[in-house]
Amino acid sequence: MTAQNDPAGPRPLRAVPDDGYPDWEAVYHDNATWVYRTLFARVGNRADAEDLTAEVFLAALRPLRLTASVAEVRAYLRATARTVLAAHWRETLGREITSIEDIEQPPDSPESDVAISAAPQRVARVLDGLPDRYRHILELRFLQGYSIKESAAQLGISVANAKVLQHRALRLAAQVNDGGQR
């Protein structure tokens, strides 16, 4: 949750010592935003990014030491985020994508302003290359932000069927994006 959305109002900024964090709350408040933004940039979906961010912190809670330096904590969270993201892509796309680079990207990277401005055209091209049912489930889930349950109801199918449909649609979309044939 950002300070803007906090019902108690904005929180004052506080300095975190370079040698470590005083408690788990400080670890979370100092790192949650960049972890969320990093994951959101990879999945492009608010709900998934929030879930994955929670998974990162839950996974890091037990093994992470409060005595670790700020740099060590951030490195550990980045490695944990990479693992959580790989598991997410393996589950959704059937393949691992484990690259998480620093937020500052070179001008020709996929996250550059040029690439981002071309993203709607790329998405439209990929969606146009899919059968109607696959295109529709992906539009509901990722463009309109429906849950899997809401998407299933909209399509008039079971939740299990919607999950299978989404999985197949994502795999085919990945092939279309890579230039594969359907």
CATH of the domain at 35: 1.10.1740
In a domain, 50, yes or no: yes
Specify the range with the lowest mean pLDDT, choosing from 81-95, 148-162, 165-179. 81-95
Tell me: pLDDT of 1 over 90: no
**In this predicted structure, what is the pLDDT of residue 111?**
47
Neighbours of 136 (CB within 10 A): 17
In a domain, 74, yes or no: yes
158: domain CATH number is 1.10.10.10
In a domain, 12, yes or no: no
User: Using CA atoms, how far apart are residues 162 and 138, in angstroms rounded to an integer?
Assistant: 10
Percent of the chain with pLDDT over 90: 14
**In this predicted structure, what is the pLDDT of residue 158?**
92
The range of the structural domain enclosing residue 79 comes to: 24-93
Count structural domains, the chain: 2
Residue that terminates a domain, selected from 59, 93, 127 = 93
Q: Which residues contact 138 (CB under 8 A, 6 or more apart)?
A: 127, 130, 166, 169, 170, 173
Predicted confidence band at 156 (pLDDT cuts at 50, 70, 90)? very high
Tell me: pLDDT of 112 over 60: no
Mean pLDDT computed over every residue of the chain: 77
pTM for this prediction: 0.46
Cα separations in angstroms, 130 against 72, 126, 175: 44, 7, 10
Percent of the chain with pLDDT over 70: 73
Same-domain pairing of 31 and 89: yes
Same-domain pairing of 37 and 86: yes
Residue that terminates a domain, selected from 60, 93, 126 = 93
Q: What is the mean pLDDT of residues 37-51?
A: 86
Q: What is the mean pLDDT of residues 62-79?
A: 86
Give the up-direction half-sphere exposure of residue 110: CA atoms within 13 A in the CB hemisphere: 10
In a domain, 45, yes or no: yes
What is the sign of the dihedral through the CA atoms of 5, 11, 15 and 21? Answer: negative
Tell me: pLDDT of 21 over 60: yes
Q: What is the mean pLDDT of residues 107-114?
A: 47
